[in-house]
Amino acid sequence: MDATSTHQASSTDPGPEPAQNAGEAGETGEAGGAVAAGGGWRAKLSGAAVAAAPTIAFLVANAAASLNAGLVAAGVTATAAFAWRLLRKEKLRQAVIGLLVVGACAAVAALTGQARGFFLLPALIPFVVLAVCLASILIGRPLTGVILNRVSGGPADWRHRPGLRRVYRNSTWVCVAVNVVNAALQVVYYRDNEPVVLGVLHIATGPIFACIVAVTITFARRAMPLRKAPTG
């Protein structure tokens, strides 16, 4: 998971507790619980659109006018997105991170004098995330388990539950594969000076990792032992 995708896709709110009997835990309920943990599909879609807006504004203004126009458009859109998040009473940290990410990308583009510079920092992030994912697997603490176990309603000793540990290890390997592909594409298209393609890759990252989050939570809940309902 990279920094931008995590900002778009993750949630710190704990999900519901695991089902107490088999009748409570159908596939639909599990999938719905995974979505609910992130605030619902509508919230996810609106959040992804707001996160992508500065990038889209930059690409359009840069193509239509100039790099400076693109930077101004990105700055104005990022400020509007910041205000939108505050109006929706989102956590201040999330709103500030979104603003700072755009500011840092714009600063690099201004310093390099190239539109592709706007995507230099996002292009480096997959390499960092790849290293973190591999290290987490090697030390027996898969990254998705560290991040998502509480959201999934998992037990604190999940590392000692083979089924849960396997789910988190496998989903972390999926993150490794996604970041390998992402890193390779970033290198190729940054070298070829293709800012539009870099922008598409940047925007696509959020939905991809949102899917990984939802699927991981769903399978983690399936792997949790069911507690018998009390009998009277």
pLDDT of 189 reads 97
Q: What is the DSSP string of 1-37?
A: --HHHHHHH---S--PPPPSSGGG--HHHHHHHHHHH
For 147, other C-beta atoms within 10 Å of its C-beta total 18
The string of pLDDT tens digits covering residues 29-69 is 444 444 444 456 666 677 788 889 999 999 999 999 999 99
What does the alpha-carbon distance between residue 66 and residue 129 come to, in Å, rounded to a whole number? 32
Tokens representing 116 are 């592709």
The span from the CA of 50 to the CA of 19, in Å, is 34
Specify the pTM: 0.77
The residue with greater pLDDT, 42 or 74, is 74
**Per-residue pLDDT reduced to its tens digit, 81-110:** 999 989 988 888 888 998 999 999 999 999
Give yes or no for a contact between 29 and 19, defined as CB atoms under 8 angstroms apart.
yes
Cα angle: 72, vertex 77, 82; to 5 degrees: 125
pLDDT digits (tens, 9 = 90+) for 174-231: 999 999 999 999 999 999 999 999 999 999 998 899 899 999 999 999 998 765 444 5
Residue-wise pLDDT tens digits, 142-177: 999 999 999 999 999 999 999 999 999 999 999 999
Residue 2 pLDDT class (50, 70, 90 cuts): low
Radius of gyration of the chain (CA): 20
**How many angstroms separate the first and last alpha carbons of the chain?**
46
